[in-house]
Structure 1
Amino acid sequence: MITYINTAIAWQSLAGNLLKGQEIHHTIFLISVVVAMLIILIALYMIQRAVQTMYRTTFPESWKAEQTKKIEATQQRAEKRKLQWAGLLGLHKLEEEKDLVIENHDFDGIAELDNPIPIWFNFLFYSTIIFGIGYLFSFHVFGWGLNQDQEYVLEVAQAEEARQVYLSQAANLVDETTVTVDSTGALAVAGKAIFSANCAACHGGQGEGGIGPNLTDNHWLHGGKIRDVFKTVKYGIPDKGMVPWEQTLTPGQIAEVSNYILSLRDSKPANPKAPEGIEVTYE
């Protein structure tokens, strides 16, 4: 058995070494290919330069003619771009000013030129007119878009939806160390339905007690503060048959039902169960 294990280990080591060797060979091959490509590119560049030098030396007149032709073509392209730019901006050469002077429109030697409106300004001006017409028909004639009042209503609705999502998420961040009594009573109202669906079977529909203790008096077995009630509902009392509700109810729902349970205090239901536990004094 030991021999078999040693043999297996040896084969695994050999296989690992072979794989490592293949990886090294693969890397060396890739580096070699990259270096070869660089050498080829450098060689091609050197050959091109050598051919140009030979051509310039052998046929100097043709070389000069070609260079002159390239320079002239470059100058023509630059002049063409300059004219196009001047036309777009409505610019004119200084020697053309004499043809643009408006007669009888000079003062102290300062003359007025009849320069046409630049093309870009006309384009911008007519674009605003087209945009204005499109805006008018889209928002005020056909009603394809939302006007300011409609946008306001929509954004308010979206903000309210986002607020509700935030509140629902924030409600579930509560635990037995941070839960507090809701002074508005909203959580207690929401917790009534949860109590009726999950707690009434043991504690009675009015909290008067049944299998479980009475929740309407001031006596508590596991503490009567909001944090105590939250903890009891969340983790349960398995030894006494009360199941933990943390897997069934969200933290927000536990906070709601805890607030509802505290709201049952001194409600004096019919046929209440006898007090159990320690009496708690509330401030």
Structure 2
Amino acid sequence: MKEVVNNSWSTGNTSADIVIVLMIITSIMVLGVAILMLKVIKFYVKETINPVPFATPEEREIRKLEAEALRALEKKKPTIWTKLMQLKPLEEEGSLVMEHKFDGISELNNPTPAWFMVLFYGTIIFGIGYFLNYHVFHYGKLQDEEYVAEIEKAADDKVAFLSNPVNSASAVNENNIVQSKDAAVLKNGQALFATRCPPCHGEQGQGLVGPNLTDEYWLHGGKIKDVFKTIKYGVPEKGMISWEKSMSARQIADIANYVLSIQGTKPADPKAPQGNKE
């Protein structure tokens, strides 16, 4: 029984809501109609008191011409694009026509755009400032001076890098290398030599495409610094590549020490001597 009462109460509430919504919509429509009626009544009263005479076709044409004349007299405000490009409206182009003609074609004497003039004078000002800065007051460095400064800085950075114990593997170079007869160095150098050098110098350094490394003759110097430098930078014109990108400085030093250690050995079928005796 209680459930039936609740359902009846819910149905009654829904019907009441619908009626309220319909009444609100009807009220809004009545209000809109009332406003329109008031405007009609106002217009009717106004026309009754002071009627507007109907214009003839001739009068309408005259009014149209007068309106066009007024619009022509009004000065149009230039747009941003017109200001930047220094453009003139079409009705003013007659004042820009030059006297001469080419093949019956007239030429307009348009002014140079403002943005171009700003750039033009800006480059002149920049040029004067550049000249004073670099060639008169010497506040800035010229390119050759910057190059020298960069070279000096690179040299200082290199010294600092090589003096750091952390970079000991790269500390050795063609200027500070010292020949070593340490067994571990020579063993490591021999292993590196065996995987990289035999195609040109033979397995025992006897020389194939490249020169014999066991005799007393050298093409590019037989000192430890010379051998290190030759391996590091290569000899491109002779076909020897540079190894500095594929091997560390320590590895190059080990191979250079091994090459000097095999000097005086007597490998089978050695290549004829090349270069100068040392």
**TM bucket by the smaller chain?**
0.3 to 0.5
Rg larger in structure: 2
TM-score (norm: length of structure 2): 0.42
Q: TM-score, normalised by structure 1?
A: 0.41
